[in-house]
Amino acid sequence: MSEVIVITSGKGGVGKTTTTANLGVGLAMRGKKVVLIDTDTGLRNLDLLLGLENRIMYDLIDVTEGRVLYKKALVRHKKYESLFLLPTSQVRDKMAVNPEQLVKLCEEMREEYDYILIDCPAGIEQGFKTAIAGADCAIVVTMPEISAVRDADKIIGELGRAEKENIKLVVNRIRPQMVKKGDMLDMDDINDILSIKCIGQVPDDEMVVTSTNRGEPVVSNEGSQAGQAYRNIVGRICGEDIPFMEFPEEGFFTKLKRVFGH
Amino acid sequence: MKIKGSRSGLQLVFDDTADFPAIEQEIKEKLESGSNFFCRGTIIQTLPGRLQQTEKETLAKLFRQYGVILHTTIEGKSLEESVAAEKPEIQVPMQPTVQEMTVVDRTVRGGQEITSKGSVLICGNVNPGAQIIAGGSIDIRGTCRGIVHAGAYGDTKAFIIADHLMPMQIRIAGLIARSPDNVEKSSRAEKAFIKSGQIVIEPIER
Ligand SMILES: Nc1ncnc2c1ncn2[C@@H]1O[C@H](COP(=O)(O)OP(=O)(O)OP(=O)(O)O)[C@@H](O)[C@H]1O
Ligand SMILES: [Mg+2]
């Protein structure tokens, strides 16, 4: 019973790739067999987040154009043995893959893996259409600000048009202090507009950035708030009923960072 | 059973495994729930080939009691065309006059547009950046934050109703009103209409 999940957002830079990497590692930490497919052809960086750049031999385009079988192009994660990455090309563009090719690839992969996560490029053009084609469900990532929420709304509309009805929401980079002061949208505002099921609320956390630089997604960091938030999302994907965590006050938050950071 | 809103009306989509008595029961419950879900005058379409002729007649009869017309779409033709093509067969009962009404059973999201020569009923929200254009009136069972234009062909009697009416712009016939820069969420249903040459908004009961 495998599941193909596309991670998408509309607006760029809200955390699709970060979310894909963290959910992939999180699922693998639970022993699931996972493949991550980078479809952001030309702007790939999922490999960086996972610290796998130097191990890439073949890419998605080599697979879709029939030069190698997909298994040959997969890169196994150094630490989590059941996690694989199918990177994309740095030199080709989004037109190099079409939706039918991705559907076919996902169908083949279903036989071997529990979860196939697809990192989608920003925008609603060809790259988006290709990325969503083979997916059973979508995770829409947004940030608590008006333009990101508007774009998420559009993307949800586009997903509906493509008959993808199973859509979940992740709100990333929440800053509790700003929400409290009314300078950032709160969850009620966001749910009111998007009206889809929310499965994740991830705080803005500098450990996300430092761990990215080390190629070690934050989900494996016990002391990080964002890591906990990602672990909770993983649990919800696996069907567990986990309450949303409370964000502590800023004072406590920074103290935590000082104790556990680096 | 699934009900999909399309440009020209509602579409019933059945699961392949559902047997007819179950479908009939489900529709009956929906109609009887009095949720106003199917409004009088709504045109319902089903995909061809899914139902037997006798089953279709049973459903058509059931719907007719509630003033809803059932049509089977003919493959490759739009609803309007198939409605026209089927007319001789179906005896349209005279009691409820069928006026064209578009029913949309979902949230209309940013970038999406609903246009209709007749009136429009939205069972869901109209989000920022969405646009509803109707020759007649517009009724939104949800929050309206998009752009709404009623009486688009000049009908100054057209009106707009929403549970929470907070659109960016309201247009009725040739008049335009822009929202104030800070809109509070209204707690009651409201109606926008033209009164002495101006768009006014009044709370209503529903
Ligand atoms: N929760 C977070 N806290 C702090 N920084 C974050 C968080 N999530 C993401 N970031 C940072 O935001 C930036 C953008 O993230 P990411 O690359 O995942 O976005 P993206 O949606 O994949 O972007 P693109 O549209 O370019 O593909 C990165 O520098 C990342 O480290
Ligand atoms: Mg990315």
Tell me: do B15 and B77 sit in the same domain. yes
Q: Average per-residue pLDDT in chain A?
A: 93
Q: State if residue A204 touches ligand 1 by the CB under 6 angstroms criterion.
A: yes
Residue A157 contacts B where some CB pair is shorter than 8 Å? yes
The set of residues, in sequence order, having a beta carbon less than 8 Å from that of A23 and lying 6+ positions away, is: A5, A7, A117, A139, A219, A230, A233, A234, A237
| Angstrom distance (rounded) from CA A256 to CA A248 | 10
Q: Give me the number of domains chain B comprises.
A: 2
Q: Nearest-CA residue of chain B relative to A190?
A: B127
Tell me: do B189 and B111 sit in the same domain. yes
Q: Are B148 and B182 in contact (CB under 8 A)?
A: no
| Angstrom distance (rounded) from CA A91 to CA A44 | 10
Tell me: do B87 and B121 sit in the same domain. no
Of B106, B112, B129, the CB nearest to A150: B129
pLDDT in tens, chain B (206 residues): 656 554 445 666 666 667 778 777 777 777 666 544 555 455 565 655 666 777 777 777 776 666 666 655 444 444 444 444 444 444 444 444 446 889 999 999 999 999 999 999 999 999 999 999 999 999 999 999 999 999 999 999 999 999 999 998 999 999 999 887 777 777 899 999 999 999 999 999 88
Of B42, B38, B60, B43, the residue nearest B51 (C-alpha):
B60
Q: What is the ipTM of this complex?
A: 0.75
| Rg of chain B in Å (alpha carbons) | 18
Q: Where are the alpha helices (DSSP H) in chain A?
A: 16-29, 46-49, 60-64, 70-73, 99-110, 126-133, 146-161, 176-181, 187-194, 206-214, 225-237, 250-260
Angle among Cα A64, A67, A69 to the nearest 5 degrees reads 70
Per-residue pLDDT tens digits for A83-113: 999 999 999 999 999 999 999 999 999 999 9
Choice from A7, A16, A18 to test ligand 1 binding pocket (greatest atom count within 8 A of CB):
A18
Q: Nearest-CA residue of chain B relative to A152?
A: B110
| Angstrom distance (rounded) from CA B66 to CA B98 | 12
pTM for the whole structure: 0.75
Of A169, A259, A262, the residue nearest A216 (C-alpha):
A262
Q: State if residue A227 touches ligand 1 by the CB under 6 angstroms criterion.
A: no
| A81 to A28, A78, A216, A220, B105: CA distances (angstroms) | 8, 7, 14, 14, 46
Q: Is A100 helix (H, G, I), strand (E, B) or coil?
A: helix
- CATH code, A3-259: 3.40.50.300
Cβ distance A150 to B110 less than 8 Å, yes or no, reads yes
Q: Which domain holds residue B139?
A: 102-204
Which pLDDT does position B59 carry in this prediction?
A: 73
Of A134, A149, A225, the residue nearest A191 (C-alpha):
A149
HSE, CB side, 13 Å, CA atoms: give it for residue A186: 9
Cβ distance B107 to A195 less than 8 Å, yes or no, reads yes
- Sheet containing strand B101-104, edge to edge, reads B101-104, B119-122, B138-144, B160-165, B190-195, B198-203
Out of B69, B93, B117, pick the residue that ends a domain: B93
Residues of B contacting chain A (CB within 8 angstroms): 106-107, 109-112, 125, 127-129, 143, 145
The set of residues, in sequence order, having a beta carbon less than 8 Å from that of B113 and lying 6+ positions away, is: B130, B131, B132, B133
Angle among Cα A247, A250, A251 to the nearest 5 degrees reads 125
Which CATH number characterizes residue B196's domain?
A: 2.160.20.70
CB A213: neighbour CB atoms within 10 A? 10
Q: State if residue A59 touches ligand 1 by the CB under 6 angstroms criterion.
A: no
Q: Nearest-CA residue of chain B relative to A159?
A: B109
Mean of the pLDDT values across residues A224-229?
96
User: Which of B169-175's residues contact partners 24+ apart within 8 Å by CB, and which partners?
Assistant: B170/B199, B170/B201, B171/B147, B172/B199, B175/B199
Chain A residues closer than 8 Å to B107 by CB = 195
If you take atom 6 of ligand 1, which residue's CA is the nearest one? A208
Out of B68, B93, B118, pick the residue that ends a domain: B93
Out of B93, B120, B138, pick the residue that ends a domain: B93
User: Terminal CA-to-CA distance of chain A, rounded, Å?
Assistant: 39
Which pLDDT does position B61 carry in this prediction?
A: 73
Which pLDDT does position A192 carry in this prediction?
A: 92
Helices A126-133 and A99-110: crossing angle, nearest 10°? 30
Tell me: do B124 and B86 sit in the same domain. no
User: Quick one: which atom of ligand 1 is closest to the CA of A18?
Assistant: 18
Q: Are strands B190-195 and A197-203 parallel, antiparallel or unpaired?
A: unpaired
| Angstrom distance (rounded) from CA A234 to CA A25 | 9
Length of chain B: 206
Tell me: do B113 and B197 sit in the same domain. yes
Tell me: do B112 and B23 sit in the same domain. no
Tell me: do B125 and B200 sit in the same domain. yes
User: Quick one: which atom of ligand 1 is closest to the CA of A172?
Assistant: 1
Could you identify the residue written with the tokens 């071997």? A112
Per-residue pLDDT tens digits for A235-261: 999 999 999 988 765 544 444 444 443
Q: Domains of chain A: which residue ranges?
A: 3-259
Tell me: do B107 and B200 sit in the same domain. yes
Angle among Cα A129, A3, B11 to the nearest 5 degrees reads 60
Mean of the pLDDT values across residues A166-178?
96
Tell me: do B123 and B75 sit in the same domain. no
Give counts: helices (H), strands (E), chain B: 3, 15
Ligand 2 centroid–CA B39 distance in Å is 45
Tell me: do B42 and B10 sit in the same domain. yes
Residue A107 contacts B where some CB pair is shorter than 8 Å? no
